Amino acid sequence: MSKPLMRIPYTGPLPPPLVIPATANTLTGAAKALVEFLTHQRTLNDGNGNNKTVLLTGAGISVASGLADYRGPNGTYTRNKTYRPIYFHEFVSSHEARKRYWARSFLGWTSLHKSHPNPAHYAVRDLNKHALFSSVITQNVDSFHNRAHPNLPVIELHGFLRSLVCLSCRRLMPRDEFQRWLAKLNPAWDNFLKELLETGALDTEDPEERRKKGYRTNPDGDADVPGAPYHTFRYPACPACLHRPPIMKDGSKGRVEVDSDGAWSEKSDSGVLKPNVIMFGESIPTEVKSQAEAALDAAGGLMVVGSSLATYSAWRLVKKAFDQKMPIAILNMGGVRKEAEFFPNYESIVDGKNAFRASLAAEEVLPEVVRILGAGNAHR
């Protein structure tokens, strides 16, 4: 049996980005080389029909939607140097950690909820009209791929923010409904959010403009407001567990208690709601891991967009593709973890048929690929 696959971030420095082929250093050159890569895979036949490309995406593809990236354009943590995501064990074991998480999530949800897929996501949809992609594996939790191209299969490697899951009964709950509960339990925070709206901090999709207004958002849908009293925040219990206490692993009946307003009480030992995402330090479900590996095995090539491969769960997929001698393309601003390993003898590569690497914006390159192929307009 394989070991559990955890979402662990790599925070070390990344290498300077490669350029493959040499002509991929401009928008036009990169787009033409990427067209070569995608169309060349369709001409190949391994006898099993595996001649499409599987797409692996990360936070960088959603930056143009107004969502922050973990790293800056040079591959370093310059966006928010003090940002430290919550780890799974902290969320599960600490009431105070959950208060802080849900307070930040309460503020950040408005930005995520107002955001939309950008031209890069719609370019994926339009390129699929040429049957270039077999499926999408995304590290992102924003559900933009599902919205932009519902007919192209999407494997959400790290889950999704559109729902919550109860750690006891495993029932799902819509995030919009939970947001209304949070507002009701935390009127002062709700007023603070309204004040943020009045400042215009949420009107712009530019993360830099938001930071100037004292409001910083992060890729996992939370927000950071320096000096905020997170300890005052309250969150509800799972309504299903409150109605019918869950059975614990030892066979005993769980205890779920709430205060007079319906907020989860520390007297409880169950009924905790968690975002339906894979937090750092949490194991990716075996079925999701298997789906991602199967998608890779069913493809003829791999294309990475907007990911520095800083999490091992993503890096290992590219390493698997390399070990299987699959053609690899990477479109990402800044460096990528151990990228030189995937492109041996890269200096001798003269076209994009079997290898591609460019450090350019996905929302610019992919629509240009669409234009060259005449596949659509890369917008809604």
Sequence ranges of the binding site for Zn(2+):
166, 169, 238, 241
Residue 271's CB: how many other CB atoms inside 10 A?
26
Task: For residue 338, give the nearest of 75, 12, 15 by alpha carbon.
Answer: 15
| 172-174 and 301-305 strand pairing | unpaired
Residue 158 bears catalytic tag = yes
CA atoms within 13 A on the CB side of 270: 19
- With the CA atoms of 124, 126, 127 and 132 taken in that order, what torsion angle do they form, in degrees rounded to the nearest 10? 90
Count Cα atoms within 13 angstroms, Cβ side, for 320: 20
Contact 211, 196 (CB under 8 A): no
Residues annotated in a binding site: 166, 169, 238, 241
User: What does the radius of gyration of the chain's CA atoms come to, in whole angstroms?
Assistant: 22
Report the C-alpha gap between 47 and 282 in whole angstroms. 38
Angle ∠(92,313,221) on CA atoms, nearest 5: 55
- Give dist(CA 173, CA 87) in Å, integer: 21
**What stretch of H or E contains 305?**
strand 301-305
Geometric angle at alpha carbon 240, from 235 and 241, rounded to 5°: 75
Distance CA 103, CA 42 (A): 48
Give residue 292's Cα distance to chain centre.
15
Using alpha carbons only, what angle is made at residue 336 by residues 334 and 339, rounded to the nearest 5 degrees?
A: 130
The one-letter amino acid code at 285 reads: P
Q: Residue 302: which of 282, 327, 320 has the closest Cα?
A: 327
Q: Which of 237, 236, 255, 235 is nearest to 245 (CA)?
A: 255
For residue 322, the number of C-alpha atoms closer than 13 Å in the C-beta half-sphere is 17
Residue 74: Cβ-neighbour burial (10 angstroms; 0-12, 13-18, 19+): middle
Catalytic residue (one of 121, 158, 231, 379): 158
- Residues marked active site are found at 158
